[in-house]
């Protein structure tokens, strides 16, 4: 799987992870010799059906729920949409308020905006400088008109792990439904849905070493609970909640990925956190004006968000294209606006434009950590010295991009 040019270093594990070779191996038969439709009554169809159900129970075991509470979707974005829009449709007239934080994923913010267009009220409860939700403000916002609270388990940009157990306790006191996007937690920190007490949860395979285009929605109590209505009608797949022929290879891969990740969770998260900490140490100690975003404890093990004072993150990226890191969330790239998550925790636009996200993961080596930190340090120093000389002698730029328009 190491076909990349050796000089490239992949440190964007929060945007996507490589498919583990063991996952690819598990998927292989379902891409080659076993192509039948799981809805078919023949033997081959039944084998495919059985593979889907085995994957469902692998995933259920990994997150502490029962198989009948899991519905496969085309990813976490779709699961978030079904959770939020489908919940609103199922309870259309009962309650009219949804509560979120300013640092939710775009695929949560978007559906909430759609609800507002339909007459729902949206209340955004603040988070602190580390991204942690203000539980007092949440308690104040919750009332008997609150239909749902949607708060992620862990931030894909700054790694903050939310006190979800406390969130669900508060929300359930007023009878509100709790949805959690647990995508970034799955496979990286223990996720026990029973313990968290959430009613709906979204997840994705490609953030935990599975294939892209497959995710799942957890619905407490399964289809019978009527917590959500399907957004699409058609075939009865996934007990009517998500019609369409099941993506058997991807589902098998998701099951395998979830199982592998939960088996390795402890040792892997320890190693990954150590590498992340080393990288941060080298940059924070080796350079001036570097700030870590997110909390120092209760943070995702492999994620680092760093603000380099006086240096635009676009310029950093443009000057080390062989380093796969990102300016904000990948979902935001292409947009000239600074990250809503960084603004949400109180960074200025300027600081947000000077922030990079680095994601360490399963296949990161110590050597890559060392090389990446040296490269980043050199690039930041060079950019700073150029902007200093530019401001003092208004000289011509060198062959270095100090100002890069956000084209990505």
Ligand X SMILES: *Cc1c(COP(=O)(O)O)cnc(C)c1O
- Please work out the total of residues on this chain that contact ligand X, with binding judged by CB under 6 A: 13
Q: According to CB under 6 A, which one of 12, 181, 199, 314 is a site residue for ligand X?
A: 181
Angle at 318 (CA atoms; ends 158, 388), nearest 5 degrees: 90
Q: According to CB under 6 A, which one of 215, 255, 301, 302 is a site residue for ligand X?
A: 215
Q: Using CA atoms, how far apart are residues 171 and 155, in angstroms rounded to an integer?
A: 20
Instruction: Compare residues 204 and 373 and give the one whose CB is closer to ligand X.
Output: 204
Lookup: tokens for 150 = 């949607």
Least distance in Å: CB of 177 to ligand X? 18
Q: According to CB under 6 A, which one of 49, 58, 184, 332 is a site residue for ligand X?
A: 184
252 scored as a contact of ligand X (CB under 6 A): no
131 scored as a contact of ligand X (CB under 6 A): no
Pick the piece of the chain touching ligand X (CB under 6 A) from 18-26, 75-83, 261-269, 337-345: 75-83
Instruction: Compare residues 320 and 335 and give the one whose CB is closer to ligand X.
Output: 335
107 scored as a contact of ligand X (CB under 6 A): yes
Q: Using CA atoms, how far apart are residues 222 and 261, in angstroms rounded to an integer?
A: 24
Distances (CA, A) of 132 to 46, 104, 122, 307, 351: 46, 12, 19, 19, 19
Task: Work out the burial of residue 396: count CB atoms within 10 Å of its CB; fewer than 13 is exposed, 13-18 middle, 19 or more buried.
Answer: exposed
Q: Using CA atoms, how far apart are residues 257 and 215, in angstroms rounded to an integer?
A: 12
304 scored as a contact of ligand X (CB under 6 A): no
Instruction: Compare residues 230 and 384 and give the one whose CB is closer to ligand X.
Output: 230
179 scored as a contact of ligand X (CB under 6 A): no
Going by the DSSP 8-state scheme, the letter that residue 4 receives in this structure is: S
Annotated catalytic residue, options 19, 87, 232, 331: 331
In the chain, what's the furthest Cα-to-Cα distance? Answer: 78
Instruction: Compare residues 183 and 387 and give the one whose CB is closer to ligand X.
Output: 183
208 is catalytic: no
152 scored as a contact of ligand X (CB under 6 A): yes
User: Exposure pattern of 148-160 as b/e (b: 16+ CB <10 Å)?
Assistant: bbbbbbbbbbbbb
Least distance in Å: CB of 42 to ligand X? 32
Distances (CA, A) of 381 to 256, 276, 283, 287, 336: 43, 21, 11, 8, 25
183 scored as a contact of ligand X (CB under 6 A): yes
Active-site annotation, residues: 331
Interacting residue ranges for ligand X, rule: CB under 6 A: 75-77, 105, 107, 152, 156, 181, 183-184, 204, 207, 215
């Amino acid at each position: 799987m190491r076909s990349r040019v050796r000089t490239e270093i992949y440190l964007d594990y929060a945007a996507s992870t490589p498919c583990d070779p063991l996952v690819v191996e598990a998927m292989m038969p379902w891409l080659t010799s076993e192509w039948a439709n799981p809805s078919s009554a023949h033997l081959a169809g039944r084998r495919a059906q059985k593979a889907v159900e085995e994957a469902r129970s692998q995933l259920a075991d990994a997150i502490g729920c029962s198989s009948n509470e899991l519905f496969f979707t085309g990813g976490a974005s779709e699961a978030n949409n079904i959770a939020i829009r489908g919940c609103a449709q199922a309870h259309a007239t009962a309650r009219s308020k949804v509560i979120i934080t300013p640092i939710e994923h775009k695929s949560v913010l978007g559906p909430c905006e759609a609800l507002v267009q339909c007459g729902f009220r949206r209340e955004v409860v603040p988070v602190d400088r580390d991204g942690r939700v203000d539980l007092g403000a949440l308690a104040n916002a919750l009332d008997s008109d609150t239909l749902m609270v949607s708060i992620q388990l862990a931030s894909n940009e700054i790694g903050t792990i939310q006190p979800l157990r406390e969130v669900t306790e508060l929300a359930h006191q007023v009878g509100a439904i709790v949805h959690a996007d647990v995508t970034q937690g799955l496979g990286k920190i223990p996720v026990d849905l029973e313990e968290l007490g959430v009613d709906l949860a979204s997840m994705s395979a490609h953030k935990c070493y599975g294939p892209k285009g497959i995710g799942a929605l957890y619905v407490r109590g399964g289809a019978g609970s009527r917590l959500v209505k399907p957004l699409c009608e058609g075939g009865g797949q996934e007990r009517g909640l998500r019609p369409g022929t099941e993506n058997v290879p991807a589902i098998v891969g998701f099951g395998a990925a979830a199982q592998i990740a939960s088996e390795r969770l402890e040792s892997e998260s320890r190693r990954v956190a150590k590498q992340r900490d080393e990288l941060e140490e080298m940059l924070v100690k080796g350079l001036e004006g570097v700030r870590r975003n997110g909390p120092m404890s209760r943070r995702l093990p492999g994620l680092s968000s760093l603000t380099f004072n006086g240096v635009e993150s676009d310029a950093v990226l443009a000057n080390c294209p062989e380093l796969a890191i990102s300016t904000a969330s990948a979902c935001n790239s292409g947009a000239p606006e600074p990250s809503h998550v960084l603004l949400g925790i109180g960074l200025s636009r300027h600081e947000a434009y000077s922030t990079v996200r680095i994601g360490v993961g399963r296949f990161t080596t110590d050597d890559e950590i060392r090389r990446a930190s040296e490269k980043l340090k050199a690039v930041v120093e060079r950019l700073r010295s150029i902007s200093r000389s530019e401001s003092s002698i208004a000289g011509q730029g060198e062959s270095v991009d100090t100002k890069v328009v956000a084209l990505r």
